[in-house]
Amino acid sequence: MHLQALDYTVVIVYGIFLLVLAQWVSREKAGHRKNTQDYFLAGRALPWWAIGASLIAANISAEQIIGMSGSAYVLGVAIASYEWMAALTLILVGKFLLPVFLEHRIYTMPQFLEQRYDHRVRMVMATFWLGVYVFVNLTSILWLGSLAINTVTGLDQTYGLVILGLFAISYSLYGGLKAVALTDIIQVVLLVLGGLLIAWIAMNEISGGEGALAGFVRVLELAPAKFDMIFTPDSPHYQLLPGISVLVGGMWIMNLSYWGFNQYIIQRALGAKDIREAQKGIVFAAYLKMLMPVLVVLPGIAAATLIPDLGAPDKAYPEVMKLLPIGLKGLVFAALIAAIVSSLASMTNSISTIFTMDMYKHFRPEDTSERHLVLIGRTVAFTAMVIAMVVARPLLGNFDQAFQYIQEFTGFFTPGIVAIFLLGFFWKKTTANGALGAAIGSAVMSLALKLLWPSLPFIDRVGLVFLLCVALGMLISRLEGGREHPKSIDYGKVDTSTSTGFNLASLVVVLMLAALYIVWW
């Protein structure tokens, strides 16, 4: 059952509203032209609610909604560990890592690496991030988003790719990060409302009309295995989520890399008015992460009960959407589109920031006027989107669970990323060559372990390679003399103090996590 006229009307009204709102919030005072700080960091004036909402809107996209629901269809609630452990990671990032970045007044993560190490490290990591953002993240968002459009509306995926890409560019290209972040509060409200609606109606369907709570109890009775948070070695899913490692192992490395050292995410916090505003936004995002499994995991579990013979797991969420009545289906579909286009816009903005500020300014220093750099940023954003639309099908067309594919692919590189940042923060003797050795060694050692030890779960591999990268970075630094690096950070002088409100909110997150894992261990 596809969308009806009323549903399409809801989606079109949402689209027009978003375009108008984005242009309105992006307007400038008479006589003022956007500079790089305006375009890439929203003038460093983002309020906490925009930061928190934008963090989640950037994160929760097709790969989470479609991909994680597909994984929940197979694995159950255990896949929610990515969401719940991310909430705790956000708290740690807000207290221990973000103060350093804001103190350095950076635009990009590669820029920080040059300030701590040297220009070579900046260029290597900028090149890596551009490749991953365009050929892994951007393509996966487009592909899974077009899959959802195809399932719900019947529109060919190629047309869906083009529509999503052009819509995301049309509302974000002029305003940059400001247009993305200040409209994301609307996107998140729509996402949460739509997610709650689909979870409620799916549970009500399972209960035979007796209510969502009765449906949830029914699912617990029918599929208790779907509520195992920690898999044992005899589980068929142990390779994907290997037991206790989701709490103390490699998942921490994945989360720290994503939430702490990822331009695509941290750029919102870099645009904050000050550290306290950024930390409030981080806490807001942490609470939204605690809610996300209700919106994206529960529908996947419901689909496993309602449609046990579904061909491709990644079709779970779009199939459950078909339960919605006319009008509401359009609203939930608009929420899905909201999540997709917000992530696409955020990703292209980060791609343009890294290319412009880390590469173009270096290779073309003779022409770096503010106006010209903003023009380059817009050109790069558009070009990256076109490339992703072209290569999405060849890269992702043959995967059933795209979310797991993305996690495993990025797991080749994240150990090295986390190693070079943590060594740069906390060990003054880390050299640029040590950082490069850890970064390059991450991919080499990950590939070697995958080939030589195929039975090792990828999350465990991530944790092991991280330890090896730290050891390699320290060894190379020691061989170079073991002296304090001239660009080292005196972390003891960094102000990591937090407000009482931040501390209390963090404690509540910890207690909520403890309760969830105790109940569903």
The three-state (H, E, C) secondary structure of 312-350, written as one string: CHHHHHHHHHCCCCCCHHHHHHHHHHHHHHHHHHHHHHH
Neighbours of 207 (CB within 10 A): 16
Predicted pLDDT of residue 401: 54
Cα 181 from Cα 412, distance rounded (Å): 30
Rounded to 5 degrees, what are φ and ψ at 386? Answer: -60, -45
Asked if the model's pLDDT at residue 154 lies above 90, the reply is no
Cα 245 from Cα 229, distance rounded (Å): 12
SS3 46: strand
8 Å CB contact between 165 and 385: yes
Which amino acid type is present at position 306?
Answer: L
Interval 372-414: pLDDT, tens: 999 999 999 999 999 999 988 887 766 655 555 666 677 889 9
Interval 415-433: pLDDT, tens: 999 999 999 999 999 999 9
Predicted pLDDT of residue 30: 65
Terminal-to-terminal C-alpha distance of the chain = 38
272 strand-pairing partners: 46
8 Å CB contact between 261 and 442: no
DSSP string, 185-206: HHHHHHHHHHHHHHHHHHHHHH
pTM of the predicted model as reported, rounded to 2 decimal places: 0.90
Which range of 174-188, 213-227, 325-339 scores highest in mean pLDDT? It is 213-227
Q: List Cβ neighbours of 328 (8 Å cut-off, separation of 6 or more).
A: 197, 201
Asked if the model's pLDDT at residue 67 lies above 80, the reply is no
Chain center to CA of 81:
14
Q: List Cβ neighbours of 243 (8 Å cut-off, separation of 6 or more).
A: 230, 231, 232, 233
Residue 43 — very low, low, confident or very high, per pLDDT cuts 50/70/90? confident
Cα 350 from Cα 181, distance rounded (Å): 12
Q: Which of 424, 437, 423, 347 is nearest to 164 (CA)?
A: 347
Q: Which helix (H) or strand (E) holds 370?
A: helix 370-396
Predicted pLDDT of residue 175: 84
8 Å CB contact between 377 and 176: yes
Percent of the chain with pLDDT over 90: 52
Interval 283-300: pLDDT, tens: 999 999 999 999 999 999
Burial 24-36 (b: 16+ CB within 10 A, else e): ebbeeeeeeebeb
Cα 305 from Cα 293, distance rounded (Å): 17
Predicted pLDDT of residue 184: 86
Predicted pLDDT of residue 259: 95
Interval 468-497: pLDDT, tens: 999 999 999 999 988 999 999 999 899 999
Predicted pLDDT of residue 183: 86
Choose between 89 and 183: higher pLDDT: 89
46 strand-pairing partners: 272
- Local structure of residue 400 (DSSP, 8 states): S
Rounded to 5 degrees, what are φ and ψ at 347? Answer: -65, -45
DSSP string, 461-498: HHHHHHHHHHHHHHHHHHHTT-PPPTT---GGGS----
Asked if the model's pLDDT at residue 363 lies above 80, the reply is yes
Which pairs with CB-CB distance under 8 Å and at least 24 residues apart come from 128-135? 128/413, 128/439, 129/263, 129/354, 130/351, 130/354, 130/355, 132/410, 132/413, 133/263, 133/264, 133/347, 133/350, 133/351, 133/354, 133/384, 134/351, 134/384, 134/387, 134/388, 135/388, 135/391, 135/395
Interval 225-268: pLDDT, tens: 899 889 988 888 888 888 888 888 889 999 999 999 999 889 98
Predicted pLDDT of residue 402: 58
Q: Which of 443, 429, 442, 444 is nearest to 476 (CA)?
A: 429
Asked if the model's pLDDT at residue 519 lies above 80, the reply is yes
Mean pLDDT on 102-128? 94
Q: Which of 186, 173, 187, 182 is nearest to 349 (CA)?
A: 173
Q: Which two tokens stand for residue 184?
A: 């994301």
Round the CA-based radius of gyration of the chain to a whole number and report it. 22
Lowest mean pLDDT among 321-330, 390-399, 445-454, 484-493: 390-399
Cα 282 from Cα 164, distance rounded (Å): 28
Predicted pLDDT of residue 355: 95
The count of C-alpha atoms lying within 13 angstroms of the C-alpha of 272, restricted to the half-sphere facing its C-beta, is 27
Domains and CATH numbers, the chain: 5-410+490-519 (1.20.1730.10)
Mean pLDDT on 73-92? 93
Q: Which two tokens stand for residue 215?
A: 């449906």
Choose between 352 and 249: higher pLDDT: 352
Predicted pLDDT of residue 484: 92
How many residues are there in the chain? Answer: 521
Predicted pLDDT of residue 319: 84
Q: Which two tokens stand for residue 438?
A: 């850890």
Mean pLDDT on 143-172? 87
Q: Which two tokens stand for residue 151?
A: 């399932």
Q: Which helix (H) or strand (E) holds 270?
A: helix 263-270
| Burial of 172: CB neighbours in 10 Å, binned 0-12, 13-18, 19+ | buried
Helices (H) and strands (E) in the chain, counts: 26, 0
